[in-house]
A and B are shown apart, each in its own frame.
Chain A
Amino acid sequence: MAYVTKSPWVIHYDGSSCNGCDIEVLACLTPMYDVERFGIINTGNPKHADVFLVTGSVNEQNKEVVKQIYEQMPEPKAVVAIGICACNGGIFKECYNVQGGVDTVIPVDCYVPGCAARPEAIIDGVVAGLGVLAAKREAMAKGGSIPAPEAPAEEGKEEA
């Protein structure tokens, strides 16, 4: 079994979230839910992180930031979109500055819908992300790097 599933370190980025999902992400670290039981640590450094948690939709201001954090994370890595805004834009979808969900910029492995997503759902999403990490690790161990995911299609405002 790959060690990566036993010690997934997460990095959390707040896109343009209303802070509801952010509070729920941090609630996972509290004694009530205590994700460190599974070796999960909130790092704050993309170079140390295995799982990228994004809350809130992507807009023109932060799409470069999301891309950069994703690119700085070493493989194997997984992306979890938390909350309906991160999944597809949510109630902000039609705003002039909002591009949509996180998957319009980087490849997303797990979607955790909800407004706000509950801590149980977030933990479930990260655990689902572990499967992705294990599969990627296996691909790496077999030799050959992980095929670069195809660039997400530029969709949304321009067409509309």
Chain B
Amino acid sequence: MNGYVTMIIFVVAYLVLAPFVGGLLAGIDRKITARMQGRVGPPILQPFYDVGKLFEKEPITVNKVQDFYVLCFFIFILATGAFFFAGLNLLLVIFTLTIASVFLIVGAFSSNSPYAQVGAERELLQMMAYEPMVLLTAIGFYIFSGSFDVSAIVNLSGMPFFYLIGIFVGFVFILTIKFRKSPFDLSMSHHAHQELVKGLVTEYSGKTLGLIEIAHWYENIFLLGFVFLFFCNGTWWGYLIGVVVCLAAYFLEVLIDNSFARMKWQVAINSAWIVALCLGIGNLFILKFLLMV
């Protein structure tokens, strides 16, 4: 009974707080980015103004199904995070995330716009690039803890990070793709960058674009939750280290965003798979060996 209550509290807290924290992080991102470029930068609350503005705009859609797909994308992203923070199965979480991305891609394809279509194709390639590493992360947690359940992993006595260092580095690597940061922002890019006009979201405007932006904040918080999971050991200082590392990882992604030019999709796939193969699989073998002796 008590377990269900805490589960509900975590899910509600995620659904209510994640957009605020995610939006704030996005604002801090833009401020830090501006300072790195020698500019003053927008106010910290700028992402909220942007989304508020988008919800005030006149609705224009290419076709009716497009909005439906975006709504599905939004709902499935929320479900992904809710499953994760409810402490459910990691595999379920990853597959729900994949479904959410598929809805966004189908929505972009349905518009028939060449920019959105090329963006959607690149998004598929990006999914191919990051998916193996995400699955290896879940497998790593399973071999270490004997369970795919997030609730079981959080309450472990040992810190997974020390046994899964390779997988951690690999996960932070693909985080660049998931956060849509510069070397790999092929399918759609952030604020002032312009790639394929706006790639995946070229044909979305107004409320629909606002929903995608909010979904992106939810997704970012959920991904940082994954980073947090590496440092859980059932004690408060483990949680504290987790939060600090999450913020450090976010800062690292901003730094990478500002120090790299955009690369070709071949580089994204090759590098992500090489990282998954060397760091991910290598780490799994070492972990299995350590657990046997």
A4 & B56 in contact (Cβ 8 Å cutoff): yes
B234 lies within 8 A of chain A by Cβ: no
Interface residues of B in 39-71 (CB under 8 A from A): 39-43, 46, 49-50, 52-53, 55-60
Tell which of B88-96, B98-106, B202-210, B253-261 binds the partner.
B202-210
B2 lies within 8 A of chain A by Cβ: no
Could you say which interface size class chain B belongs to?
20 to 34
- What residues of chain B lie closer than 8 Å to A2, measured between beta carbons? 56
Q: How many residues of A contact B (CB 8 A)?
A: 27
- What residues of chain B lie closer than 8 Å to A48, measured between beta carbons? 198, 205, 209
Interface residues of A in 24-43 (CB under 8 A from B): 29, 31, 34, 36-39, 41-43
Alpha-carbon separation in the docked complex, A13 to B60 (Å)? 21
**A34-B40, A47-B205 given as contacts; is B192 within 8 A of A42 (CB)?**
yes
A75 & B58 in contact (Cβ 8 Å cutoff): yes
A74 & B50 in contact (Cβ 8 Å cutoff): no
B216 CB to nearest A CB, Å: 15
A 48-60 binary contact with B (CB < 8 Å = 1; else 0): 1010000000000
B49 & A45 in contact (Cβ 8 Å cutoff): no
Q: Select one of A3, A34, A41, A45 contacting B52, CB under 8 A.
A: A3
B3 lies within 8 A of chain A by Cβ: no
**A6-B53, A7-B46, A75-B58 given as contacts; is B39 within 8 A of A47 (CB)?**
no
Alpha-carbon separation in the docked complex, A34 to B57 (Å)? 25
Q: Select one of A36, A47, A50 contacting B204, CB under 8 A.
A: A47
- What residues of chain A lie closer than 8 Å to B194, measured between beta carbons? 42-44
A137 lies within 8 A of chain B by Cβ: yes
Q: How many A-B contacts at CB < 8 Å in the complex? A: 82
- What residues of chain B lie closer than 8 Å to A6, measured between beta carbons? 46, 49, 52-53
B197 lies within 8 A of chain A by Cβ: yes
A74 & B202 in contact (Cβ 8 Å cutoff): no
Alpha-carbon separation in the docked complex, A47 to B57 (Å)? 10
**A6-B49, A7-B46, A43-B198 given as contacts; is B56 within 8 A of A137 (CB)?**
yes
Which A residue sits closest to B45, measured CB to CB?
A6
A140 lies within 8 A of chain B by Cβ: yes
Alpha-carbon separation in the docked complex, A48 to B209 (Å)? 9
B34 lies within 8 A of chain A by Cβ: yes
Which A residue sits closest to B37, measured CB to CB?
A31
**A31-B39, A37-B40 given as contacts; is B57 within 8 A of A75 (CB)?**
yes
- What residues of chain B lie closer than 8 Å to A75, measured between beta carbons? 57-58
Interface residues of A in 83-102 (CB under 8 A from B): none
B204 CB to nearest A CB, Å: 7
Given contacts A45-B202, A47-B203, A48-B198, 12 further A-B contacts (CB under 8 A): A2-B56, A3-B55, A6-B52, A29-B192, A31-B38, A34-B34, A36-B34, A37-B39, A37-B42, A39-B42, A39-B50, A45-B198
11 contacts between A and B (CB under 8 A): A3-B55, A6-B52, A7-B50, A34-B39, A37-B39, A37-B41, A38-B42, A47-B203, A50-B53, A74-B57, A75-B57
Tell me the A residues contacting B by CB distance below 8 Å.
2-4, 6-7, 29, 31, 34, 36-39, 41-45, 47-48, 50, 74-76, 137, 140-141, 145
